[in-house]
Amino acid sequence: MDRRSILLSPFAGAIAMMRGGKAAPAANPQVASTTPAAKPKRINKCIELLEQGQPIYYTMATGGYDEGKKLAQTWADMIIYDMEHGPLDMVGLEGFMKGLVDGGPTKSGHRTPAVVPQLPVGGWDAETVQASYWMFHQCLDMGVHGIHLCHAGTAGAVRTMVRSVRYPFNRVGVDPECPEGRRGSGGQNRAAKIWDIPVPEYLKKADVWPLNPEGELLLGIKCEDKYALVNCEKSCAVPGIGFAEWGPGDMAMSFDSMANHHEPYDPNSVMGRARARVFAAAKANHLFFLNSANVNDIEGMIKEGVMIGAGNEAAAEKGRKFTKRTMPW
């Protein structure tokens, strides 16, 4: 199956589930959450759900072992580990991942929720990202499941991130637009232990999805300022990226506003046009779109095509009922 087919199939699945109007309520979520877990098909819970056409939901974290153990049973499918605004703390991240393992598995049977760190790396240009590649390497060596690049300003910056997280022997899709990977050897033992798989299997699976259908790493980009906005079509077209967002807080500041903006936006406003442009770029390149959501607008967001929801447990519960999700959380 080619990259286009892989990316279109989840959207087709989501549309099929929604056809005919609002879905009938699913079983009581408390009952679903205590159902014995089936054997997962993938390491990365979020990739498994997206392949099924199911939206995913995330929460944030910044702590160490104790927070990881607590969040092992989180309502969220994905945890954005925030080192953009929190400390750049690899020891804390290592403890967090161990805590997730010790508090797991999830009710879906996955060893941990998917963990995708965001880092204090400005994706302003390729040179900046290249100088910061070591942060990606160290995070991946802790056993995380992807990277989220902030202020993804140019396609060159995005391409450099993709190159930084891939091993050189992972050849799927390698061409001038997707150069050979530069991730080095040395941390795979630690990461494989977190994933609970043999090192040779980790080396095979630690690649970017959906470019590599067998990959378990999910990469995202934030086109979240006026500079990134200008280049978002090219940035979203870089092979190896799985999702994109538009970052309304930073976008508003970039357009000289300190106001606390909340959706819905006037489609003719600066903010409305910015969101629409990034969303269109994501759709055109078959990327999953991330957007904030709440219990009042989650169904509308899903109908619009939002596949990654930042919100709260109530919004996630309502969204899962709407799409008739069967995988426990």
The packing angle between helices 133-141 and 155-165, to 10°, is: 40
Q: Give the pairing type, strands 243-245 and 217-222.
A: parallel
Question: pLDDT (tens digit, 0 to 9) for every residue of the chain, 329 residues total?
Answer: 444 454 555 445 454 444 444 444 444 443 344 444 568 999 999 999 999 999 999 999 999 999 999 999 999 999 999 999 999 999 999 999 999 999 999 999 999 999 999 999 999 999 999 999 999 999 999 999 999 999 999 999 999 999 999 999 999 999 999 999 999 999 999 999 999 999 999 999 999 999 999 999 999 999 999 999 999 999 999 999 999 999 999 999 999 876 656 667 888 999 999 999 999 999 999 999 999 999 999 999 999 999 999 879 999 999 999 999 999 98
Domains of the chain: 3-322 (3.20.20.60)
pTM above 0.75, yes or no: yes
Residue with tokens 């009922």: 321
Which residues, at least 6 apart from 41, have a Cβ–Cβ distance to it below 8 Å? Answer: 48
Q: Give Dmax (Cα) for the chain.
A: 53
The whole-number pLDDT of residue 257 equals 77
Q: Dig out the tokens for 190 from the structure.
A: 């630690």
Peptide bond before residue 105 is cis, with ω within 30 degrees of 0: yes
Percent of the chain with pLDDT over 90: 83
The whole-number pLDDT of residue 255 equals 92
Handedness of CA 317, 320, 324, 326 (dihedral sign): negative
How far apart are the C-alpha atoms of 202 and 312, rounded to whole Å?
Answer: 32
DSSP states along 25-64: P-S-HHHHHTSPPPPPS-S-HHHHHHHTT--EEEEEE---
DSSP states along 219-275: EEEE--SHHHHHTHHHHHTSTT--EEE--HHHHHHHTT--S---SSPPTTSHHHHHH
pLDDT in tens, 77-91: 999 999 999 999 999
Write the CA distances from 255 to 50, 236, 258, integer angstroms. Answer: 33, 21, 9
Coil/strand/helix, residue 117:
strand
Q: Dig out the tokens for 239 from the structure.
A: 């092979």
Give me the phi and psi of 89, to 5 degrees please: -130, 95
The whole-number pLDDT of residue 33 equals 41
The whole-number pLDDT of residue 8 equals 53
Q: What is the CA radius of gyration of the chain?
A: 19
Per the DSSP assignment, residues forming a β-bridge with 306 are 289
Which residues, at least 6 apart from 304, have a Cβ–Cβ distance to it below 8 Å? Answer: none
For the chain, how many residues are written? 329
pLDDT in tens, 291-316: 999 999 999 999 999 999 987 999 99
Handedness of CA 58, 59, 63, 65 (dihedral sign): negative
Average pLDDT of every residue of the chain:
90
Query: E strand or H helix at 298, and its extent?
Result: helix 298-304
Q: Which of 118, 289, 144 is nearest to 216 (CA)?
A: 144
